[in-house]
Amino acid sequence: MIKTLITIVGPTAIGKTALAIEVAKAYDTAIISADSRQFYREMAIGTAKPSKMELQAAPHFFIDSLSILDDYSAGDFEREALAKLDDLFSYKNVVVMVGGSGLFINAVCEGLDELPRPLPGIRESLNEQYKEKGLTFIQEELKRKDPDYYQEVDIHNPQRIIRALEVYESTGKPFSFFRRDKSNPRPFQILKIGLNTERSVLYNRINKRVDLMMQQGLLEEVKMLIPYKKRPPLLTVGYAELFDYLDGKYTLEAAVDKIKQHTRQFAKRQITWFKKDSNTHWFEPSQSTEIISFLTDTLK
């Protein structure tokens, strides 16, 4: 059998973890997490990490592998994940990778774009603009200067926005201009499975997941992370809104509503990102049996 990486993608709350475990068990193999927020040990409830029981159902890698004090990039993940795959493929024919972080999925499957070196001082200037004028300002700047990337990026992640603006300010060309046209060859084949469903069903799943996170103690988790709230991993949906609540900007009810709203917006962007890949085979999350059959037939 040709060495194969089965990659499971789709929007948040669609059921990727459950499917990944089912596929890993079917092929007696391991799972590489490509969810960039699940790397961090301190972030558990707000990242919807697999439960202890789920982690025991199949070997997982790259979950709880970092601290929020660590600096870590998609390039770091590309290098480390490829090394881990090389090891796993020495005794497995199939490995599963799962996640909703499109940039990190692409890093492993295709390689990263070769971005130009930024000019000195631009990052500092953009960080200052963000600090003084807020997230809405840099969102609008990105929308004006790079509308294509604006449609894909997690617009509630200021670090991603600032990186794109940094490229634009350094080169006069949008970040999307430098997107890779050709993939780096990999020594394994890649089978991509996408999960999606009707928008109303997905949004209902998201709303219920946020409510469950709050019941599980998300607010208490966020309170423990107050000293680190400026760290890039925490400038994301589910954490930023509750930091704002604790700063007195919203009521708790309004903050939870914003988490739901921002998560739904993020899910929409994830779908836009993953739908651009014509090699992805799409299924409903309830079709796990059909997915396993499809994989078995394809890998014969």
The answer on whether 272 is annotated among ligand-binding residues is: no
Strand arrangement, sheet containing 31-33: 60-61, 31-33, 94-98, 4-9, 189-195, 280-283
Report how far Cα 248 is from the mean position of its chain's Cα atoms.
29
Give how far Cα 206 sits from Cα of 15, 59, 211, 220, Å: 11, 26, 9, 20
* Rg (the chain; Cα; Å): 19
The answer on whether 99 is annotated among ligand-binding residues is: no
Structure tokens at 46: 């707000």
3-state percent breakdown (helix, strand, coil) of the chain, nearest 5: 55, 10, 35
CA distance 37 to 235: 11
The answer on whether 17 is annotated among ligand-binding residues is: yes
The answer on whether 285 is annotated among ligand-binding residues is: no
User: How does DSSP classify residue 66?
Assistant: B
Q: Hey, what amino acid is at 112?
A: L
CA distance 208 to 217: 15
The answer on whether 13 is annotated among ligand-binding residues is: yes
The answer on whether 217 is annotated among ligand-binding residues is: no
CA distance 100 to 262: 15
Give Dmax (Cα) for the chain.
58
Residue 218 burial (C-beta neighbours within 10 Å; 0-12, 13-18, 19+) = buried
CB burial readout 32-58, b (16+ within 10 A) else e = bbbbbbbbbebbbbbbbbbeeeebebb
**From the annotation, which residues make up the binding site?**
10-17
**From the annotation, which residues make up the binding site for ATP?**
10-17
**From the annotation, which residues make up the binding site for substrate?**
12-17
